[in-house]
């Protein structure tokens, strides 16, 4: 059932942290030729690997349209439940519901989705199925859903500690293609009432060349209350340097909702930028869809990881960045010693425009 109230907080609901216990995770079967190429099998293998890693400890759901439902069911047999709901692409983080909880019940939030910018700078022109996916999934699992369809927002643009603090980036939330009629203060107030938040931290920037207008989930996230991990580079000639430096300086001078100074863990991006190669250009784009070209730098970041129950799924890019991959595994294992950190070969997901966190959406557990 869609709930018209815009104040989940007024009902006693708040958004839990991703590192809190899940009842499940939502993904979407990847088939769009403009994201995954004419042959999406590499991306599908990565999605299956993620589902297989999660499934021993929580329920895994996939959405698939009618044309690919049986294909997805066969590939995910014994791993995930497949639900017949159409979407335009496979970014569950952004089109799926954001879940809130009051400790004994969970509800979804249905934001307005416009393909990361609508007519101004959106990445494709038809997003109607994506915009209906959140409410459809809530219906399928019998959960109520707040209708916040007047606010354009994607799940990848917010990250919370579960204790009243929310991370966002100014570059994304204040972009002209989302909510140009709202002031920064008005957007902040809507987020507070929707998510049970008391303090919003506005990082200036995200990852260089991130086509989402720099989602926060690619540059910074909470690993525990009072602790964040921030994408970083010491290479002053890299365009990411100034972006990460601005975020570090901002976070260093802020406190969270509880008044704590933040512990900032630096997580270096790949030492060698990952760019689209000629051999990667197997895409088939629709009219009006954002395209790719050889040499284009991709927004590769190890911060785009995902917390599952007792595990952390970390992007790995391979090739010339094997040492960078190993370094990221070591750092995250030290930051999260109570979790098994599992490296996932996610180059195929990166070529689609995102990474592990972008394709997953957590469903919180209840007490």
Query: Which residues are catalytic, by number?
Result: 358
**How many residues are given for the chain?**
367
Cβ pair 355, 363 in contact under 8 A: no
Alpha-carbon Rg for the chain, nearest whole angstrom, is 19
Q: Which DSSP letter does residue 94 get?
A: H
Cβ pair 88, 113 in contact under 8 A: no
Q: Structure tokens of 257?
A: 């909702």
**108: nearest Cα among 84, 143, 75:** 143
Q: Rounded to whole angstroms, how far apart are CA atoms 131 and 113?
A: 5
Q: Rounded to whole angstroms, how far apart are CA atoms 356 and 344?
A: 8
Residues 6+ apart with CB under 8 A from 54: 25, 60, 308, 309, 311, 313
H-helix or E-strand containing 221? Answer: strand 220-224
**247: nearest Cα among 276, 214, 284:** 214
């Amino acid at each position: 059932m869609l709930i018209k109230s815009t104040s989940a907080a007024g009902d006693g609901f708040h958004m839990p942290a991703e590192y809190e216990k899940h009842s499940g995770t939502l993904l979407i079967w990847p088939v769009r030729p403009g994201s995954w190429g004419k042959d999406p099998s590499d991306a599908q293998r990565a999605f299956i690997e993620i589902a297989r890693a999660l499934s021993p400890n929580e329920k895994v759901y996939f959405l698939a349209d009618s044309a690919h439902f049986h294909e997805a069911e066969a590939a995910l047999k014994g791993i995930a439940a497949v639900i017949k709901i159409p979407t335009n692409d496979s970014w569950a983080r952004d089109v799926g519901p954001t879940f809130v909880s009051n400790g004994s019940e969970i509800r979804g939030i249905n934001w307005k989705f416009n393909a990361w910018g609508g007519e101004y700078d959106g990445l494709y022109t038809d997003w109607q199925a994506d915009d209906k996916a959140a409410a459809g999934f809530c219906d399928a699992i019998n959960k109520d859903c707040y209708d916040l369809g007047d606010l354009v927002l994607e799940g990848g643009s917010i990250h919370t500690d579960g204790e009243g603090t929310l991370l966002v980036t100014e570059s994304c939330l204040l972009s002209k293609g989302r909510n140009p009629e709202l002031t920064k203060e008005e957007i902040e107030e809507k987020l507070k009432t929707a998510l049970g938040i008391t303090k919003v931290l506005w990082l200036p920037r995200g990852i260089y060349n991130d086509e989402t207008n720099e989602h926060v989930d690619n540059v910074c996230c909470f690993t525990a209350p009072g602790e964040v991990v921030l994408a970083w580079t010491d290479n002053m000639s890299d365009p990411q340097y100034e972006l990460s430096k601005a975020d570090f300086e901002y976070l260093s001078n802020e406190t969270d909702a509880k008044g704590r100074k933040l512990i900032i863990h630096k997580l270096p991006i790949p030492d060698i930028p990952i760019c689209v190669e000629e051999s990667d250009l197997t895409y088939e784009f629709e009219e009006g869809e954002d395209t790719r070209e050889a040499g284009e730098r991709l927004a590769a970041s190890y911060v785009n990881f995902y917390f599952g129950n007792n595990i952390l799924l970390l992007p790995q890019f391979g090739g010339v960045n094997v040492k960078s991959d190993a370094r990221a595994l070591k750092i995250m294992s030290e930051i999260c010693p109570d979790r098994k950190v599992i490296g996932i070969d996610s180059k195929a997901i990166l070529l689609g425009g995102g990474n592990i966190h972008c394709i997953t959406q957590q469903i919180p557990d209840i007490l």
